Structures are given as structure tokens and as C-alpha cells.
Amino acid sequence: MTKKATKQKTAVKKAPAKKKAPTKKKATAKKAVKKSSKSSNAGNAPSDHLTKTTTDHSTIQQWAESRGATPACVRGTGQSKGDVGMIRLDFRGYSGAESLEEISWDEWFQAFEDNGLALIYQESTADGEKSNFNKLVTRSTEAKARRKAARRR
């Protein structure tokens, strides 16, 4: 047998290495990483990258305007004259230019209240960048999600 054939044969005969149980050092290191990722928001509060929910009009308007967003409705979704239909926050330069129509904050908030909506939003990303993430949901959907999250704790 050649040296090369012997080496290949030896490599095949080796038993697979057993996995070691994680040591306390590794577990502690994992906890430290989790803690640091929550608090590394470039000066933001530790929870700013987590989503928040609000129905407060001034909070919504301030959050949107600080990101250059304007109140809008989806063209053609109103059922009658004066009904704006589906509402959105329009971030200029993103998708929606063809389908969204700017409306006043008063019209937007009227539809927001008439439909029992809440805004889920994010102040910043985990990296500390300003976030545009937002989602309009019904208040009952938001309440169910909050109860479900509380049960997991």
C-alpha cells in the first residue's frame, strides 16, 4: 500500500468527535452578547429598536414627520365622497407614488379613529439607525398580540 492510500484509510477509520456540553463560560458569553446587543444603540435607549404601539395622535404625527412621512390614502379605496378609504404613511422616494394620495392629518386621524386602528412602529434599528418601520393594525389585533406576548414571559 502506498503512503497516500494508508493516510486515506486511516482518516476513514477515525470515529467522529463527540460534541461537548457547553461550559458555563460559553453560556455566560452568550448572555453578555444578548445584553450588549440590546444596549448598543449608539446612544439610544436600549428598547428603541423594539417595536412600540400607540394610538396617540401627536406621537404618530411627530414620529412620521421626523422621518419625512406624510399622511396618505390609497387611491380608489374610499366607498363614497369624503371617505378616504385605506390610510398609509407615505415616505417620499419609496414605493407608493402611483397608488398613494396625500391627505391632511385631520382626514388621516379621522379614518384612523373610525377604523379603530393602532400604529406599531420602531424608533431605530438594532444598529442605531433611524427606522421607518410601521404597520397599521386594528386595536383588537394589537391587544391580542400584547396578551399573547405577556403569556410567553
As beta bridge partners, residue 70 has 90
Dig out the grid coordinates for 79 from the structure.
366607498
At 147 the pLDDT is 85
What average pLDDT does this structure show over 8-28?
Answer: 46
With a CB cutoff of 8 Å and minimum separation 6, the contacts of 142 are 53, 118, 120
**pLDDT score of 35 more than 60:** no
| Residue 71 clears pLDDT 90, i.e. is over it | yes
Task: State the DSSP string of 40-81.
Answer: -STTS-TTTTSEEEE--HHHHHHHHHTTTEEEEEETT--SST
Nearest 5°: the CA angle 95, 57, 51 is: 60
- DSSP letter (8 states) at residue 123: S
Look at 41-45, 72-76, 129-133 and tell me which has the smallest mean pLDDT: 41-45
Higher pLDDT, 33 or 96: 96
* pLDDT tier for residue 149 given thresholds of 50, 70 and 90: confident
Where are the chain's structural domains?
19-152
> Model's pTM, two decimal places?
0.65
